[in-house]
Structure 1
Amino acid sequence: MIGGGTGVRGRLRQLLGVVAVAAMVGTTAVGCGGSDEESSGDGTVTLEFAQWWAPELPAGSFDKLMTEFTAQNPNIKVKLLSGPYASTKQQLVSGAASKTLPDVVGLDGAWVSDFAKQGAIADLTALMADAKYDSSQLASQIQIQGKTYMIPVVNFVYPLFVNNDLLAKAGITTPPSTRTEFLDAAKKVSALGGNVKGWALPLDTAVPNGVQNDVMSWVWASGAAC
């Protein structure tokens, strides 16, 4: 995702360039926070890029991408802020609260709604329009109330695995393709009795993995961001 604070409109084109590079290897999104980029007397701009991808990729591969990018854009330098996922998340959460995020950040899609509500990330729809950037070049955009706040650098397929024999026993001839059909199929399968249940999720407020992994994937697959 690209988002931002002070001076972000003036550097949108530069940030979009960084996004293009990150899209080759990223796992979620790129964004920009509320910190000011460093500028030198010759017009060179240094952008801080916080992410956890560099430590997870083969040694030097992410730095190589940044080197290729800066070679093509000599007026832009990239300062990588790399760390494990957990520590990166904590730093970004703290930065969002104080509006001191780096210029470009890798984000988990689950954080976008909270960051947008805090005003820590920018409305990319307006920024892309100001920069006359053709958003149709993007494979997808994560939006909240019609405004883009995140640009995924990797898009995933959300498969539905089907037990055809079980569905046939419940009188279902075609796998569900909508939530309404899914709910109807779940009820019919549950009506078979025994140990068969149409849909069972372990949901616990202390351990929210069930919600994020089993519920939010349906929401994101439907095009929503929160």
Structure 2
Amino acid sequence: MRNLRAAAACAVTLSLALATAACGGGSPTGGGSDDSPKTLTYWASNQGASVEVDKKVLQPELDKFEKQTGIKVELEVVPWSDLLNRILTATTSGQGPDVLNIGNTWSASLQATGALLPWDEKNFEKIGGRDRFVESALGSTGASGQDPAAVPLYSMAYALYYNKKILADAGVSRPPATWAELVEAGKKIAADGKQVLGAEGANPTENVHHVFVFAKQHGADFFTADGKPDFTNDNVVTAVKQYVDLMAKDKAIPVGNAEYAQNQSVSDFAKGKTAMLLWQSASANLKSQGMSEDAYGIAPVPVQSGTPGAGAQANSMVAGINLAVFKNTDNLSGATEFVKFMTSDAEQKILNQAYSSIPPVGAAQQDPAFNTPANAVLKDTLAKSAVALPQVADESQFETAVGTAVKELFADVAAGRPVTEASVKSALEKAQQQMPAK
């Protein structure tokens, strides 16, 4: 997942309020049919360095599907800044695509609208069975105890990307394994005239992904066991402050990154301006921007101490993209066939190689192409130290509210205003007040 608009919170609330009355797709009857057996509309998320890159990756595969089935797929690649709002508008208007990509962390929220086709055992059998997918990926497909709202398409994890030459020139012998080591390495890198760590302070989604991991490392959750928001507990405040302090106190994140949005920090890293980057499965993006794979290394995201693992040693959220079908599509059988095609072993290898992600389909994941050193770090993270974001109906509002709160705290740093425990708690309290009442 990447970027969201702050306005998404209002749209999500509206969609949930109307969930029983509306669902997306093209059928005015509100139920799936096969009135348009030869056409499908598909909203793909922007996975590559640009929309044009995605079109070049996807169109040959869609042409292949048409040749095999006779079904033409009309593709639209939707930027992350627009995708959630577009989906929510479709759920309330009843006018949307047949098939679409969703960020896996939105699964429970979109499931609650009632707009998406549930993937019960019968539907899973149509695409080869539920057991084809790895369990960690299925854990981010909807609320516990309910049939998934989507099926996994691409699996990703965060890693620490580091410029080998910049670190070596600064006398840093290995990538930092803890945040304290990163701060110390950053002092040497900064003294050598380079920027230390790229971030996207104006990108709410990137912000919330990072502070979620910091919270886990401090033994904290943003929600109580019964699903109520708990954004202002002491450990969450400590976690958010530690992340913002990478700019405010430690001077690791450049102040200018407070205004960075989608992909700007990746571009800086690719151009050799920044020594390190925290990103999801970035290799394909970096390659498309001209950075040689020999120029950088990939290491696990740092932890507070020790090595990554479960519990407080978590170092990534379970990132990824799911594939969903609007329940009232005009081509239900074709949409199901398309999902089967996109999650087939062969297509999973092609698509996940193109996006440097990991196939959530077990058989495809075993292909030698996914046993590179870079993929080894990502696969190990997904297997041992990644944690799914809360699979609650209000998850989308949580991402927007907390991610925007962190964005505003970074803006405070850029404006020269102090960031204190009190100001962090106040920002999180404001975010919590934006959540729907229970």
Specify whether residues 216 and 64 from structure 1 end up closer, same or farther in structure 2 by C-alpha distance, changes over 3 A only: same
Specify whether residues 38 and 49 from structure 1 end up closer, same or farther in structure 2 by C-alpha distance, changes over 3 A only: farther
CA shift digits 1:1-30 (9 cap, x unpaired):
xxxxxxxxxxxxxxxxxxxxxxxxxxxxxx
Specify whether residues 156 and 52 from structure 1 end up closer, same or farther in structure 2 by C-alpha distance, changes over 3 A only: closer
Distance 1:90 1:198 in 2: 29
Specify whether residues 181 and 151 from structure 1 end up closer, same or farther in structure 2 by C-alpha distance, changes over 3 A only: closer
Task: Give the counterpart letter for 1:50 in structure 2.
Answer: W
Q: Name the counterpart of 1:91.
A: 86
Matched, 1:34 2:34: no
Contact 1:39–1:45 at 8 Å: present in 2 too?
A: no
Deviation, 1:137, is 1.6
Deviation, 1:62, is 1.8
Matched, 1:162 2:158: no
Task: Give the counterpart letter for 2:87 in structure 1.
Answer: L
Task: Note the aligned Cα RMSD (angstroms).
Answer: 4.3
Match among 107, 112, 118 for residue 107 of structure 2: 112
Query: In proportion to residue count, which structure has more helix?
Result: 2
Deviation, 1:84, is 2.9
Distance 1:218 1:89 in 2: 19
Task: Give the counterpart letter for 2:38 in structure 1.
Answer: V
Normalising by structure 2, what TM-score?
A: 0.30
Q: Name the counterpart of 1:153.
A: 153
Specify whether residues 131 and 159 from structure 1 end up closer, same or farther in structure 2 by C-alpha distance, changes over 3 A only: same
Specify whether residues 73 and 162 from structure 1 end up closer, same or farther in structure 2 by C-alpha distance, changes over 3 A only: same
Contact 2:105–2:389 at 8 Å: present in 1 too?
A: no
Deviation, 1:49, is 0.5
CA shift digits 1:182-210 (9 cap, x unpaired):
447xxxxxxxxxxxx887244xxxxxx9x
Q: Name the counterpart of 2:331.
A: none
Task: Give the counterpart letter for 1:92 in structure 2.
Answer: I
Contact 1:47–1:77 at 8 Å: present in 2 too?
A: yes
Distance 1:129 1:151 in 2: 9
Distance 2:216 2:77 in 1: 44
CA shift digits 1:141-195 (9 cap, x unpaired):
22312321232322123459633987xxxxxxxxxxxx999447xxxxxxxxxxx
Deviation, 1:55, is 1.8
Gap runs ≥5 in structure 2: 1-22, 28-32, 161-175, 182-213, 220-237, 245-260, 262-279, 281-313, 320-385, 392-438
Higher normalized contact order (CA 8 Å, seq sep 6+, divided by chain length): 2
Secondary structure in 1 aligned to 2:155?
coil
Contact 1:219–1:225 at 8 Å: present in 2 too?
A: no
Task: Give the counterpart letter for 2:126 in structure 1.
Answer: A
Specify whether residues 85 and 39 from structure 1 end up closer, same or farther in structure 2 by C-alpha distance, changes over 3 A only: same
Distance 2:179 2:110 in 1: 42
Task: Give the counterpart letter for 2:86 in structure 1.
Answer: Q
Contact 1:144–1:224 at 8 Å: present in 2 too?
A: no
The number of aligned residues is: 160
Deviation, 1:105, is 0.7
Specify whether residues 180 and 100 from structure 1 end up closer, same or farther in structure 2 by C-alpha distance, changes over 3 A only: closer
Specify whether residues 62 and 131 from structure 1 end up closer, same or farther in structure 2 by C-alpha distance, changes over 3 A only: closer
Task: Give the counterpart letter for 1:148 in structure 2.
Answer: P
Secondary structure in 2 aligned to 1:48?
strand
Distance 2:80 2:218 in 1: 35
Deviation, 1:104, is 0.3
The equivalences for 1:1-226 within 5 A come to 33-36=24-27, 39=35, 44-53=37-46, 55-57=51-53, 60-74=56-70, 76-129=71-124, 131=126, 133-139=128-134, 140-141=137-138, 142-146=141-145, 147-158=147-158, 162-163=177-178, 182-183=217-218, 200-202=242-244, 217-218=316-317, 221-223=386-388, 226=391
Deviation, 1:216, is 11
Deviation, 1:63, is 1.4
Normalising by structure 1, what TM-score?
A: 0.53
Contact 1:112–1:225 at 8 Å: present in 2 too?
A: no
Contact 1:34–1:100 at 8 Å: present in 2 too?
A: yes
Deviation, 1:129, is 4.7
Deviation, 1:126, is 4.5
Distance 2:216 2:79 in 1: 41
Gap runs ≥5 in structure 1: 1-31, 167-178, 185-196, 203-208
Q: Name the counterpart of 2:307.
A: none
Specify whether residues 45 and 159 from structure 1 end up closer, same or farther in structure 2 by C-alpha distance, changes over 3 A only: same
Deviation, 1:71, is 0.9
Contact 2:117–2:150 at 8 Å: present in 1 too?
A: no
Task: Give the counterpart letter for 1:67 in structure 2.
Answer: D
